[in-house]
Amino acid sequence: MPTQKEKFELEYIIKTSPSILFSRLSSPSGLSEWFADDVNLKGKIFTFVWEGSEQQAEQVLRKENKMVRYHWLDDEDDKAFFEFRINVDDLTGETALVVIDFAEEDEKEDAIELWNNQIDELKHGLGSV
């Protein structure tokens, strides 16, 4: 039986428009700028390449300029996914990126650090540092 993964959410303020941010979260070219070395798409299956290793995820949910959800094909936990949500604050107009992911308890800190590094890459690519 697979170990139960714990859901966690991280929020980042990104100085860009929701549509520009969405393209970086939902398209192979956008994702390859910050998330993986290379990204290929066939149907709804995204193949992410990091330093020669590959991992596949299916895009299972997509709402234009609002959110996108992926499910790792090799993940034994059917409920686990990773998701990007874009929230715009009504008062300040700030664009926030919410990352929702799952990790085993002993891997959670590493996963959060990895996301922080990845989002720094994203911000750098967008000129939102």
In a domain, 60, yes or no: yes
The length of the chain, given as a count of residues? 129
Return the structure tokens found at 34.
Answer: 């910050």
Per-residue pLDDT reduced to its tens digit, 9-62: 999 999 999 999 999 999 999 999 999 999 999 999 999 999 989 999 999 999
Q: What's the total number of domains in the chain?
A: 1
Per-residue pLDDT reduced to its tens digit, 40-55: 999 999 999 999 899 9
Comparing CA positions, the residue from 28, 35, 32, 23 lying closest to residue 82 is 35
Containing structural domain, residue 59:
6-126
CATH number, position 58: 3.30.530.20
Return the structure tokens found at 52.
Answer: 């020669």
In a domain, 32, yes or no: yes
In a domain, 1, yes or no: no
What is the pTM (predicted TM-score) of this model? 0.92
In a domain, 19, yes or no: yes
